Amino acid sequence: MARRKRKEHEPQPAPLPVSSDRSRPSRSLLGLAAGLAILVLASILFLVWRPWGTPDRELAEGESRRAERDSSSGGEADQGVGSAAEFQDELYGLVEPLVEKLPKSTRARCLLAAVHRRFARLAEAEHELQQCLAEEPACAEAHYLLGMMASGESDAQRAEKHLRAAFDSDPRWADVAVQLAKVQMAQDNPQAAVSTLEAYLKLEPGHAEAWCQLGQAYHQLDDFTNAKRCHQKAMELAPDMPEAYYGAGQALRELGQTKEAG
C-alpha cells in the first residue's frame, strides 16, 4: 500500500508533444506566402519608384556631369563611385532573386527592366520587357517602359504605339496619359493629345498635371479659351504648380485679357 502511494506521488514525465500536420503550415504554403510577400514588396517598390519620365539621354548626361564633379573632387570621387556601385548591387540583389522565384510574374520582370533602364542597360531592359509581352501582351507596365525608352531615343512613332497600348490597358494611369499626349503633341498632333487627355480626365478629373497638359494641347490648337479654362482648373487643383500659372497667363494674353494676366 505504501509502495503504491509512493508511485502515485512520484512526478510523472511530461507528455511528448504530438506533431500534427494539420496544425503546422506545409512548406509549400510557407513558400507561397513568402513569394506573395516578396511580390507585395516589389509592387510597393515598383509603384514608389516611377520616376520614368526622365529620358535615358538626360540620365546619361546627369551621370556624365556627376562623373566630372567627382573627378575634380579627389577622394570624394571614389566614395561616390562606391556608393553608386553599392546602390546598383543592392537593387539587383533585390530584384533578380524575385524574377528567379517568380519567373512568370510580369510585374517582377518589369521591375527588373526598370532597374536595367535606370543603369542604362537598355538591351537587357528590352529583353525583359519583350518577355513580359510574350507572357501578357496587354501588360501596361511593359508597354509604358518600352514607350518611354523609345521616347528617350527620339523614336516618336514607336513611343506612341507602346504608350497607346499602355493607355488602352490602363486608362487611369496618369503618367501614361500625360506622356502619350506629349508624344502626340511632339508629332504635331495636338488634337489626338486632346482626345487622350479628355478620355483620361473623364475617369480621373482631379489630376492637375493632366489638366495643365490639356491646356497646352489646346494652346497648340490656338484654342485659347479652352487653354485658359484648363490651366485655371490646374491652378485650382494645384495652387503651387508654376506651369499652370504660366500657361494661363499665355492664354489670357492671346485673348487680349492683359489685365487679368497680370
Q: How far apart are CA 78 and CA 99, in angstroms?
A: 31
User: Buried b vs exposed e over 132-161: b needs ≥16 C-beta within 10 Å?
Assistant: bbeebeebbbbbbbbbbbbbbeeebebbbb
- In this structure, of 43-57, 86-100, 122-136, 201-215, the range with the lowest mean pLDDT score is 43-57
Supply the pLDDT for residue 86: 87
pLDDT in tens, 65-117: 443 444 444 444 455 556 888 888 888 998 999 899 998 999 999 999 999 99
Supply the pLDDT for residue 62: 42
- In this structure, of 54-63, 178-187, 226-235, the range with the lowest mean pLDDT score is 54-63
User: What average pLDDT does the chain have?
Assistant: 79
Supply the pLDDT for residue 3: 47
Q: Domains (ranges, CATH) in the chain? A: 86-170 (1.25.40.10), 172-262 (1.25.40.10)
Torsion, CA 231, CA 232, CA 236, CA 240, rounded to 10: 60
C-alpha cell at 232: 485655371
* HEC letters along 128-180: HHHHHHHHCCCCHHHHHHHHHHHHHCCCHHHHHHHHHHHHHHCCCCHHHHHHH
Secondary structure letter of residue 24 according to DSSP: S
pLDDT in tens, 4-45: 444 445 555 444 443 444 444 445 545 555 555 555 555 545
- Residue 74's region, left for phi above 0, alpha for psi from -120 to 50, else beta, is left
Crossing angle, helix 75-101 and helix 27-48, to 10 degrees? 130
DSSP three-state, residue 20: coil
More confident residue, 180 or 51: 180
